[in-house]
Amino acid sequence: MIDFNITPINLEIKEKLQSKIDGKTKPIGALGQLEELALQIGLIQQSTSPELKKPHIVVFAGDHGIAKTGLVNPYPQEVTFQMVMNFILGGAAINVLAKQNNIAIKVVDAGVNHDFGNLPGLVNAKIALGTKNYLEEPAMSAEQANKAIQKGANIVEEIFTNGCNVIGFGEMGIGNTSSAALIMHYICDTPLENCVGKGTGTNIKQQENKLQTLKKAVYKHKDINIEDHFSILTTFGGLEIAQICGGMLKAAEKKMTILVDGFITTAALLIASKINPNILPYCIFTHCSDEKGHQAMLEFLNSKPILQLNMRLGEGSGAAVAYPIVLAACTFLNQMASFESAGVSQAK
């Protein structure tokens, strides 16, 4: 297992930061969650004047062996590589939302079942042509999982080196809500029925088939050690989930602000937080997905999402939509007048 040296947040500056927030020309707490975000980002950066630099969202794509069966997915597996092409061409939701908010996009082939060749605009971090079918065998080997975590970490380190200090994570992979549901089931100790949701366009009958299929997968691997988070990842996870996990851990190690998107990226964080719990204070939860189970995941992590817009697209779309609010937290802290500078009387 790769070791990540994530420093716990130093709270020495907290009182000074809070004093600056409270000293702005407003009643204490009047900017609500913006004030909480300003405090969090200031603590991450150890600065009373935090600045968000070169924001990025990295979209990791990977295929899942279970998707070849069609048991958990109404869309065929080929949609994964087709959507990767859409990302490269700039036509997906994440492209337009990120462009609107001046966020750079990086698209990564973590393990798509397609040979892209040397495709401009695509980062080749392919571990395999998708995972194995966990109805029959573990999704990946320990070696593959470790390699995926390392590759995700390397990608984020390069982005950090180029001046980025705020990063979001997105994903694409037909069948990956099933992997996320299984990860949630084990780590959150939640009944599978409360973890399995609509995924990509399933109807009620398809959702029930999905649940029954995942119950069979759980029975197949009934001897798994539920305390072994790495085995949960290798048994049920996706290569894109493993790379997100590594990317998040590296981002925290580099003291970057992490924008957590929806159900699948939060599942990756569940694994990452078991590898190193110090990651959590570096995370901003951008929205509560409409995917069944995500709210319970957020409650398990004792987190407070910024938005609730009934989104369940993935791709990092929630992170892109929430980013202007995160930026607003820094903007008010840095640019809003204080009572003293504006000559405004404070409340007695």
- Rounded distance, CA 211 to CA 263, Å? 16
Token pair of 39 as six digits:
């405090």
- Rounded distance, CA 295 to CA 283, Å? 16
For CA atoms 72, 76, 82, 86, give the dihedral sign: negative
Token pair of 272 as six digits:
């990452």
**Residues sharing a CB contact under 8 Å with residue 6, sequence separation 6 or more, in sequence order:** 249, 252, 253, 276, 278, 279, 282
Buried b (16+ CB within 10 A) or exposed e, 323-337: beebbebbebbeebe
Is-catalytic flag, 137? no
Selecting among 171, 253, 291, 315, the annotated active-site residue is: 315
Output the CA torsion 228→229→231→232 (10° steps): 120
The 8-class DSSP code of residue 69 comes to G
**Residues sharing a CB contact under 8 Å with residue 187, sequence separation 6 or more, in sequence order:** 229, 232, 270, 271, 274, 300
The owner of tokens 């995700």 is 152
Q: Are the beta carbons of 232 and 186 closer than 8 angstroms?
A: yes
The owner of tokens 């070696």 is 143
From residue 11, how far is each of 52, 132, 333 by CA, in Å? 20, 44, 18
**Residues sharing a CB contact under 8 Å with residue 46, sequence separation 6 or more, in sequence order:** 10, 13, 255
CA 324 to centroid of chain Cα atoms: 17
Q: Hey, which residues are catalytic here?
A: 315
